[in-house]
Amino acid sequence: MYFKNRLIKEKKYKYAAVSIRLPDGKVKVLEKIFHGERGDELARGFDDAKKKAYLRFMIDNFRTDHIFTEGEFEKIEDMRVQYSRILSGLTDVSYRDLLDRFTANFTYESNALEGNSLTLKDVAMVMFENVSVSEKDLREIYETRNSREIVEMIVANKFKVNHECIVKLHRMLVKDLGISVGYKKFPNVLVGKSVELTPPERVYGEMDELIGWYRENAGAYHPVKLAALFHGRFEKIHPFEDGNGRVGRFLINVILVNNRYPPLIIRKSQRIAYIGALEKFDCGYSDGLVRFVLRRFKDTYRKFFEEYVKYLDY
C-alpha cells in the first residue's frame, strides 16, 4: 500500500493505493480517497476491491458452467484474497510453521492414499527431526523424506507444467527407492481397473499433447477446473513406472499455487470418492472429478488455512 496526492479542482486529496497482478500478468492499481483510516481498516477495504477486480476478470475471461458459476467464482476469489492476506500477516516463524504443517499433512494424506502406513506423527518425525521410524519400511520413509523438498519448491513457484519439471518432480519423489526415473519403459496396469493405460512408446507424445492442452486452455478454464481436468488426463496416461498418483497430486498444487491460489489436500478418508471420480473421468465423465477437486480446494482452505490463523495472536 502506498499514498499519493492529487489536485482536483484546485483542491488537494490524499489517496491510498495498492497494485495487484491479474491472472494475465497485467498490473491493476486500486485507489481510494484516504480519510484517516487505520491500516487494518484500509486493508479490509482493499480486500473487497481486490475480490471485485479478480471476480470481474474471471467472469470476463473464463468460461462459466453448471459447476463453475459466477457465484462459485466469487467464493473462490474471496478465498484467494483471504489466503494472500493470511500469508502477508504472518511472521517468518509463523509462516515456517504453517508451511511445515501443510507439508506434513499433505505428505501424510497423499502417501496414505497409496498405502503408506506412516502416521502423521511419523511423517513429522521423518521430515523435521530427520529420524527413522522403527519397524517401518524404508521405502515409506524415503518417499516421505523426499516429499518435503518438493512441497517447499511448489510453494515457492519452482515448478512449471512442462516435461522437464514433471520428470524432475518424479526424480525427486523416487530418490533412493530403486524406481526407474522418468517416463516408463515398460507397460503398467492398475489392479482392479479395466482402463487401458498409455503404453510406453506413446507416453511422451501423449504427455506432449497434455502439456499443449494445458497451455492452450490456461486462459479459458478457471485454474481450479484446469487443475482437475489436467489431473484426470495425467492419471489416465500414467506416465511413470511408479509414483503417478503422488506426482499427479503435486501437479494439482503446482497449477493452483502458480496461479496464486492456496494448495489443496486430498485426504485418505476421501479415497473411495477420489478413485470413483477418476474412474468416471476415464469413462468420459469429468464432472465428478471437477466437483471433487473443487470441494477439496474449498475444504483445505477452510479447515486448514482458515483454522490455522484462528490460533495466531496478531
The predicted-structure confidence for 113-140, as pLDDT tens digits, reads as follows 998 889 999 999 988 887 777 777 888 8
Q: Is it the case that residue 21 has pLDDT exceeding 80?
A: yes
* pLDDT at 73 (0 to 100): 94
Which residues are CB-contacts of 40 (< 8 A; sequence separation ≥ 6)? none
Mean residue pLDDT across the chain? 90
| 8 Å CB contact between 140 and 110 | no
Task: Summarize the confidence of residues 65-84 as an average pLDDT.
Answer: 93
CATH of span 92-310: 1.10.3290.10
Nearest to 185 by CA among 131, 239, 256, 262: 239
Q: Which residues are bridge partners to 4 per DSSP?
A: 15
Task: Tell me how far apart the alpha carbons of residues 220 and 208 are, in angstroms, rounded to a whole number.
Answer: 19
Residue 189: pLDDT above 90?
no
pLDDT at 314 over 60: no
Residue 167 CA: distances (Å) to CA of 55, 172, 179, 183, 184: 34, 9, 13, 7, 11
pTM higher than 0.85 for the full model?
yes
Burial class (CB in 10 A: 0-12, 13-18, 19+), 29: exposed
- Which of 193, 191, 167, 189 lies closest to 180, judged by CA? 167
